[in-house]
Structure 1
Amino acid sequence: MAQTVDYWYNQIITKVNGDEVLSDLDHTSAVADYKLWAYIIAYVAWTIDVLFDFRDANVQDVLATKKPHTEKWYRDLALRFQYGQALIPDTDQYLNVGLDASQIAAQKIITQAAVKENDDGSMRIKVVKLLDGDYAQLSDAEILAFKAYIADTKDAGVRINIDSLPPDALKLVIDIFYDPLVLDGTGARIDGNATTPVNDAIKAYLKALKFNGEFAKTRLSDQLQSVDGVVLVGILSAQSQYGIRPFTEIDERVIPDAGYLRVTDDGFTINYRAYA
């Protein structure tokens, strides 16, 4: 970082004052010739300092454009996508002339993105938008525009697979041992404050999971045991499904292929058993 003119001036004056040959110079006059020359030299030194700073910043910018991009860079790139907006030619930036902050935010439809390098060196990008407060896949038109955006901005030679999928399906079979002073045999609160507190807790757990994060049966069980009136939890079965593949039993944990899990319409099998 460049030093100030005063810094260099004081460095020169300190050297002059400490020099045996120059110690007889007039130190009291603010306009002594050597002080004026000292200021000129200090200004030159400051100018060179600033030029070196500019040069260093330029070199860093060049290095940033030349180094290979990381998975995080591609994730950030995906989140910057604006639906319905053209890029500045030969860049990954939008012109956004005449758009205010709220209009730009409305065009940024991708809420979550996850990037992973595959074993063959290609990359996979998963993206979703937010619809009615929950994750949802992009429409055909939206995914087409996003693929064109990635094709225009990715590194040359990098193979990228792009997915925006419906959620992986989840089926659960659970034993709930409940306190009969708080819950009834259907799982509803006796005081009427909630009719399906266990189901609500399961949905809340799934929605709270980080996109492309790990579902774990133990963590789900912990969350359910925090529900008022639930004494013990037994997860008898937890199965997931993606695409048209069959449901498979989850061995404690799974990362959903779509990046998120949701319980199917018939996915809850909850056996309520009073805890004596």
Structure 2
Amino acid sequence: MARTIAEIQNEILIEKGKQSSLNGLTDSLSNSKTAIWKLWINIIATAIWVHEKVVEKNALISRPHTLNWYREQALNFHYGMSLDPDSINGMSLIWKDGSYQFDTTDLSEDEIEQAKIIKHCAVSEIDLGTVLKPKKEIEEIFSDYFHNKVGVVFIKVATVKEDKISRIDVPNELFAFKEYIAKIKDAGNQVYITSDQGDNLKLSLNVYIDPLTIYINPKDVEYYQLKSLSRDLNDEEQIKLAAYELALLEEPLDTRNGSLILEKEVFPILDAAKDNLKNIEFNGAFVKTYLVDAVQKATGVKIPILKKVETSWATNPSDDPESLTDVTNIEYFIPNAGYFDMDTLQVEVNYIPYTFYRDKQ
């Protein structure tokens, strides 16, 4: 930020005081506000101030358009405002201080906030070095350059509906946003914009719980234990499991399983898993260890084991959420849409009473 004229004058006066040869400028006459040497200080200070303001403005105008710049512009998009600088009502996109800005002069704070439909945004690009391989022929490089979309800026965006991250599913909203980016982007840059349905996710856990804290119906314990086994079941176990699953058609598992004994509406394990997913930043990675850590802290949990993780892309609501891919062997991954669809989230928990302490008795 440029210094004020007074600040510049003060620094000149401080420097003058360090020069003994200028001590003669302190007599009664020259100490007047209209003394020639003081007028020259004012002129020089004003000239320096003008210079600093020009440099400051040039720095603002020449600000490099980084990936973060694209993100800031996306989050600042105002839906319903014209891209025509001659539009009426002062709601157009105008060129000001070296950048495009929305003129919101006649809008209230609430109206401005409602117009900003982009609530989450992530911007990335593919580096050329990621697709080049040693000893490749030069003619193959350019083919890879375009085929792998190197030089393309990828923008993922989402809005919020009913306190949940959601894709922008109104066609005109996304169309308007793309037009906005096309107008403000750097010349020659290719920009690829997406707003997809959240990815599907299914988690399977074995959780050893404190039976004095978390409710579990005794008739369901053996079923959970059989389901939790990671090894192949023997013939007797397979028969038992098949019998349980057949019986479940008539009498399902107790719906209270996994709830707190003293607060039957609270399911600490399910709540911990959902909170962990909700707290993942947009386009952030799902990390298996973090999920297990979150469940471990839940009330009544003794030993949480993440048995299986399955996921799939979902680009529209008609996609089959059951067509999942097993990604259990991957420690972390980023959802294609940038987030998970909490409405299609499946969390299956085998609740097993923690009774190991009996071995010590």
By the TM > 0.5 criterion, same fold? yes
Kept in 1, the 8 Å contact 2:209–2:354? The answer is yes
Q: Does 1:180 align with 2:211?
A: yes
Give how far 1:193 is off. 5.0
Residue segments in structure 2 that go unaligned for 5+ positions in a row:
84-92, 128-149, 217-256, 356-361
Q: Does 1:76 align with 2:107?
A: no
TM-score scaled by length of structure 1: 0.87
Matching residue of 2:301? 230
Q: Secondary structure at the match of 2:35?
A: helix
Kept in 2, the 8 Å contact 1:171–1:264? The answer is no
Q: Closer, same or farther in 2 for the Cα pair 1:148/1:180, shift >3 Å?
A: same
Q: Distance in 2 between matches of 1:26 and 1:268?
A: 83
Give how far 1:230 is off. 0.8
Give how far 1:47 is off. 2.3
Kept in 1, the 8 Å contact 2:200–2:344? The answer is no
Kept in 2, the 8 Å contact 1:171–1:263? The answer is no
Q: Closer, same or farther in 2 for the Cα pair 1:46/1:189, shift >3 Å?
A: same
Matching residue of 2:82? 86
TM-score scaled by length of structure 2: 0.67
Kept in 2, the 8 Å contact 1:8–1:45? The answer is no
Kept in 1, the 8 Å contact 2:166–2:197? The answer is yes
Corresponding letter in the other structure for 2:67: E
Q: Closer, same or farther in 2 for the Cα pair 1:27/1:133, shift >3 Å?
A: closer
Q: Which moved more, 1:100-109 or 1:82-91?
A: 82-91
**Off by >6 Å, runs of 4+ in structure 1:** none
C-alpha RMSD of matched pairs (Å): 2.6
Q: Closer, same or farther in 2 for the Cα pair 1:123/1:30, shift >3 Å?
A: same
Q: Secondary structure at the match of 1:93?
A: strand
Corresponding letter in the other structure for 1:124: F
Residue segments in structure 1 that go unaligned for 5+ positions in a row:
none
Q: Closer, same or farther in 2 for the Cα pair 1:49/1:228, shift >3 Å?
A: same
Q: Does 1:97 align with 2:100?
A: no
Q: Does 1:268 align with 2:350?
A: no
Kept in 1, the 8 Å contact 2:201–2:345? The answer is no
Specify which of 201, 208, 214 is matched with residue 279 of structure 2: 208
Kept in 2, the 8 Å contact 1:9–1:38? The answer is no
1:179-236, Cα deviation, whole Å (9 max, x unpaired): 0000011111111253422112111111111110010111101100111111001111
Listed as ranges, the matches of 1:235-274 within 5 Å are: 235-243=306-314, 246-250=323-327, 251-262=330-341, 265=344, 267-274=346-353
Q: Closer, same or farther in 2 for the Cα pair 1:181/1:53, shift >3 Å?
A: same
Q: Which moved more, 1:116-125 or 1:49-58?
A: 49-58
Matching residue of 2:121? 113
Give how far 1:89 is off. 5.0
Q: Does 1:137 align with 2:137?
A: no
Q: Closer, same or farther in 2 for the Cα pair 1:241/1:39, shift >3 Å?
A: same
Q: Closer, same or farther in 2 for the Cα pair 1:221/1:26, shift >3 Å?
A: closer
| Identity rate, percent | 29
Q: Closer, same or farther in 2 for the Cα pair 1:269/1:51, shift >3 Å?
A: closer
Q: Secondary structure at the match of 2:101?
A: coil
Q: Distance in 2 between matches of 1:104 and 1:177?
A: 50
Q: Closer, same or farther in 2 for the Cα pair 1:195/1:85, shift >3 Å?
A: same
Give how far 1:261 is off. 1.5
Q: Secondary structure at the match of 1:57?
A: helix
Q: Distance in 1 between matches of 2:302 and 2:204?
A: 17
Q: Distance in 2 between matches of 1:124 and 1:184?
A: 47
Matching residue of 1:153? 184
Q: Distance in 2 between matches of 1:254 and 1:143?
A: 26
